[in-house]
Amino acid sequence: MKKFRNILFVWLIFTTIYTIWSYFSYYRDENIMFHVSGGLFVSGMVLFAIGMFSHMSATGLFDGIMYGFKRNRRAKLKEIDPDYEEDEEESVEERQLRKQAAWYWVLIGVVSVVLSFLIALV
């Protein structure tokens, strides 16, 4: 349950904020489940996006894009401090753990969206 605590905390915050905003902004004659369904959908999409971007980062997709920026930063830091050394790269095990953690975010996001659709159908 510890690995889901942060995810559920973010999920609860987004769902609550969107539900309250939706209820006070428009469609006041609708029941509260209409607004909760919208909140679940929005929070599910946000969690899904966070999970997918985290997974892309863990797989190294952004490494190629960021290579030029890192090289320029390294060169400027070497000008300032000739003894500058880069931090160590992540190990394979650390990347695997990050990939696995990212899939938890995606899973909760998908479950939230499906739950939103089920509530909307009822």
Domain boundary assignment for the chain: 2-22+31-121
Specify the DSSP class assigned to residue 30.
Answer: S
Query: Mean pLDDT across the chain, nearest whole number?
Result: 85
Q: How many of the other CB atoms lie within 10 Å of CB of 115?
A: 15
DSSP 89-115: PPPHHHHHHHHHHHHHHHHHHHHHHHH
Q: Which of residues 15 and 59 earns the better pLDDT score?
A: 15
Stretch 52-63: mean pLDDT, rounded? 81
What the block records as the tokens of 18 is 């969107």
Tell me: the pLDDT tens digits for 27-36? 777 788 888 9
Tell me: the pLDDT tens digits for 4-20? 888 899 999 999 999 99
